[in-house]
Amino acid sequence: MASTSDLRLDAEELRKLLALAERKRVKDLLTIELRKVETEITAHVEREAAAANQTSGTAPKPVSTKPRLPTVDIKNYAWDQSEKFMKIYATAPGVQDVPKEQITCNFTERSFNLRCSDVKGKNYTCEVVHLMEPISPQDSLFKVKTDMVLVMLKKKETGKTWPYVTVTEKKVKDKHKTPAMDKDADPNEGLMTMMKQMYEDGDDEMKRTIAKAWTESRGKQGPGDML
Q: What pLDDT, on a 0 to 100 scale, did the predictor assign at position 52? A: 77
Q: What is the mean pLDDT of residues 94-110?
A: 95
Region of poorest pLDDT, from 128-132, 167-171, 219-223: 219-223
Tens-place pLDDT, residues 178-191: 555 556 656 666 66
Q: What percentage of the chain reaches a pLDDT higher than 70?
A: 79
Mean pLDDT of the residues in the chain = 83
- The DSSP line for the chain is ---HHHHHHHHHHHHHHHHH--SHHHHHHHHHHHHHHHHHHHHHHHHHHHHHHHHHT-SPPPPP-PPPPPEEE----EEEE-SSEEEEEEE-TTGGGS-GGGEEEEEETTEEEEEEEEETTEEEEEEE-SBSS-B-GGG-EEEEETTEEEEEEEBSSTTPPPSSSBHHHHHHHHHTSPPPPPTTS-HHHHHHHHHHHHHHHS-HHHHHHHHHHHHHHHHH--HHHH-
Work out the percent of the chain whose per-residue pLDDT is above 90.
Answer: 44
pLDDT computed for residue 226 by the predictor:
41
* Per-residue pLDDT tens digits for 122-164: 999 999 999 999 999 999 999 999 999 999 999 999 999 999 9
